Amino acid sequence: MAWNGQENEPLLEDRTTETPNHESLFAGWKTACTSILTVVILERLAFYGIISNLVLYLNSSNFNWQGTQATQAFLVFTGTTYLLSLFGGWLADAYAGRFWTIAGSLVIYLLSSVFFPATAMEESRNVLCGQMPTFNLENASCWHLGKNECSSQSKYCASVMYIAIVFLGLGSGSLKANLTSFSADQVADGGQETTRRFFDWFYWSFNVGAILSLSLVTYIQQNISFFIGYSIPVLCLAVALLIFLTSSPMYNCKPATGSQLSDMAKVVAYVCCFCKKSQTRPPSKRMGHILEDPARGGILERVTIEKRGQIHQEIFENVETLIRILPILLCFIPYWIVYFQMQSTYYLQSLHLEIPALFSHVRNNSSNSNTSRHHTFPAAWLTMFNALMLLILIPLKDKVIDPVLLRRNLLPSPLKRIALGMLIGSCSALTAGLLERKRLTYIASNQTISQEIGKDVYIAAPLAIWWQIPQYVLIGISEIFASIPGLEFAYSEAPPSMQSIIMGFFFFISGIGSLLGSGLLSLLALPPTGWMNCPEDYGNINKCHMDYYFFLLAGIQGATLLVFVVIILRYERRNCENYQMYNDLETE
């Protein structure tokens, strides 16, 4: 790839600057877009192949972690992934550029993913983690021997596991922050409508990879071999890295623009000091570059002309943009807490519902048990209902619903769509809580079944796993209305020199939500009265009150939605006022 520090246009492809028509949406960018979307599919296949059965993997006899501990590890993994995306965005904007940051991220991602198939084999697991203490998941008697002994056994290989999680999160998170904006760069010449539609199909590709992973990899992991199942993500990442590097001459690569974070920090500090001083002074009456009332203006209007001359004006504009969109991004935190339950507590709940056998002749039914001896329906397959909703609804939305609404000027703004997504997400958590309450009534009346999943036995309620479908469908619909418009909003509002950082910050907020969900779960698992504290039910949740946890999440999301509505009303009103103000200044 030719690289001279300047913007790199594709060498092997003609690029049109005209807006493509509806039939040829990505005309002029097909090769680059196809390559990138293939990388997206492979990366998502690897990502979901690693995380979808992580709770089962740690909760099984391979590690013997408690259910809540395995769930927390998943949330820490996703939280680390999204938190470190901010670092990846900063690195790309400041020094390496998006192309080389993506390439380096794929290398780290690939190397760290090797840990999982390595620990799936007993010999290599003993080398990495030491000999595992003998303990049977069905046997809860160790709790009578003392909590310290049980705790140490249930956290086998924790230090090595969390080191692998950090490096995997670094590679995945940095890739997330840059692959999104790098993809949008390829079609940026097509205008806002092309960018909006590209994000729809970019997200659609996300879910193609998820479907492939959930339908194939999770089945292999649960019913055949964790080693084979975790080797597939390694292979996918290797192929993704190869495709990305070999397609480099076709990309539109923008160089790093230098770090603006330190200058932005100075601006924020100066503005804060200026605001404190302005409280003891009468409002400025100067016109021109400074408004009549600095307290009502933006960052640029709060700083004296002399100070603004020392720092490039673009820095002030970037700070003002970041501060303006920050409250909106922060309101995503409760939504992400709910969203990440899909593959953590929702998954844990599914292990304690009746899971059907894929092959009925291997079922062993008796008066005392209902046990499946061989291949069972993978619990992670329910996540596919989320992905399937996206695969079905995104094309329908792009081809039918949005054009109709656009012609009638009824297409909601991204912020209004986000609000609707938050409402639907709250309904998903509420639905999960109602199902969990019903499940616990069966447990309380001793109506249980014993079912074998992999090599381990779980005590479940005789309530079909299909009752979880509504909560998965709702979280999938919420993703269309919250996450996709969120990406569109973050990219469109970000200044060109900060697009990777802003996208990284968007994913950073996701990480905060995941880690807060883990922290909340840990808090509720504290003895003696925590809702999720049930040590006598080692490895299971039948003595816990996870229904309270779901209801709490639904309430937090609902309260945040009310705050978000107020914020977006003020945001849109402020945009209108600024637009009118600048029109008046130009007229003068």
Per-residue pLDDT tens for 127-166?
888 877 664 444 444 433 333 344 444 477 888 888 888 8
Nearest to 333 by CA among 515, 499, 534, 484: 515
CB 149 within 8 A of CB 133: no
Q: 30-258+322-394+408-587: which CATH topology?
A: Growth Hormone; Chain: A; (1.20.1250)
Q: To which H or E segment does residue 464 belong?
A: strand 456-464
Q: For the residues of 501-518, what is the DSSP string, one character each?
A: HHHHHHHHHHHHHHHHHH
Predicted confidence at residue 281, as pLDDT, reads 52
Where along the chain do its domains lie? Answer: 30-258+322-394+408-587, 261-321
- The pLDDT of residue 1: 42
Q: What is the pLDDT of residue 537?
A: 59
Alpha carbon separation from 208 to 44, 66, 386, 387 (Å, rounded): 8, 32, 11, 8
Check whether 443 has a pLDDT greater than 60.
yes
Give the model's pLDDT for residue 189: 64
Q: How sure is the predictor about 578, in pLDDT bands with cuts at 50, 70 and 90?
A: low
pTM for the whole structure: 0.68
pLDDT of 421: 92
Return the pLDDT at 235: 95
Burial class (CB in 10 A: 0-12, 13-18, 19+), 278: middle
pLDDT bracket for residue 521 (50, 70, 90): confident
**Residues 454, 56 contacting (CB under 8 angstroms):** yes
- Predicted pLDDT at 412: 80
Residue 127: CB partners within 8 Å, gap ≥ 6?
none
pLDDT mean over 542-551: 89
**What value does the mean pLDDT take over residues 286-305?**
44
User: Are the C-beta atoms of 233 and 65 separated by less than 8 Å?
Assistant: no
Which is nearest to 384 in space by CA: 39, 52, 158? Answer: 52
Judge contact between 293 and 283, C-beta under 8 A. Answer: yes
Structure tokens at 213: 């992973």
Task: Give dist(CA 412, CA 481) in Å, integer.
Answer: 10
**Do the Cβ atoms of 47 and 234 come closer than 8 Å?**
no
Residue 371, classed as helix, strand or coil, is strand
**Residues composing the chain:** 588
End-to-end Cα, the chain, rounded Å? 50
The per-residue pLDDT for range 463-479, each reduced to its tens digit, is 988 999 999 889 988 98
Instruction: List, in sequence order, the alpha helices (H) in 28-157.
Output: 30-51, 54-59, 67-83, 85-91, 97-113, 115-120, 122-129, 147-154
344-396 residue pLDDT tens: 888 888 888 888 876 544 444 444 444 444 567 777 677 777 777 777 887 78
Mean pLDDT, the chain, whole residue set: 75
